[in-house]
C-alpha cells in the first residue's frame, strides 16, 4: 500500500572473522596480567622454596601464626622448632615463613 519494501544492502569491505586489531586488547590484557600478577608470584614462590631448602639447625625462624623459634631438627617434610627452653613444636616445612637474622630471638624476648 503506502509503504514500499526495503532491502538491506551488503557492505563490500567488512570481513566476517575477527582480525588482528580486534584481538589486540585481549593480548595486551594478558601481557599486563602476566607482568603484574603471575611473574611476581612465581618469583616469590621460588624464593620461598630456596629458603626452605637452605634451612638448617640453629636458624631462627617465624612459622605460621607468628610462632618464633630456633630450628633444632630439619627433616624432609617437617621442622622441629624450639619456642622456649624445653618446649618444641613440630611444623611442616612450608609453614616456615621467614628466616630471621641471628640473635633476633634474644633481643625479642628482652
Q: Are 67 and 81 in contact (CB under 8 A)?
A: yes
State yes or no: pLDDT of 57 exceeds 90: yes
By C-alpha distance, which of 33, 29, 79, 87 is closest to 59? 79
Domain 56-110 belongs in CATH node 2.30.30.60: yes
Top pLDDT among 103 and 107 is at: 103
How much is the pLDDT for 10? 63
Top pLDDT among 10 and 86 is at: 86
State yes or no: pLDDT of 13 exceeds 60: no
What's the order of all strands across the beta sheet hosting 87-92? 87-92, 78-84, 67-74, 60-63, 96-100
State yes or no: pLDDT of 3 exceeds 60: yes
How much is the pLDDT for 41? 96
Average pLDDT over every residue of 63-91: 95
Query: Domain boundaries in the chain?
Result: 21-54, 56-110
Amino acid at each position: 500500500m503506502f509503504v514500499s519494501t526495503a532491502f538491506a544492502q551488503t557492505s563490500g569491505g567488512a570481513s566476517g572473522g575477527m582480525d588482528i586489531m580486534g584481538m589486540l586488547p585481549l593480548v595486551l590484557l594478558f601481557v599486563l596480567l602476566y607482568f603484574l600478577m603471575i611473574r611476581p608470584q612465581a618469583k616469590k614462590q621460588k624464593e620461598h622454596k630456596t629458603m626452605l631448602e637452605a634451612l638448617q639447625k640453629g636458624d631462627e625462624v617465624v612459622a605460621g601464626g607468628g610462632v618464633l623459634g630456633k630450628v633444632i631438627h630439619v627433616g624432609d617434610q617437617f621442622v622441629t622448632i624450639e619456642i622456649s627452653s624445653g618446649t618444641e613444636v613440630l611444623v611442616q616445612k612450608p609453614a616456615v615463613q621467614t628466616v630471621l637474622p641471628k640473635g633476633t630471638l634474644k633481643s625479642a624476648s628482652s
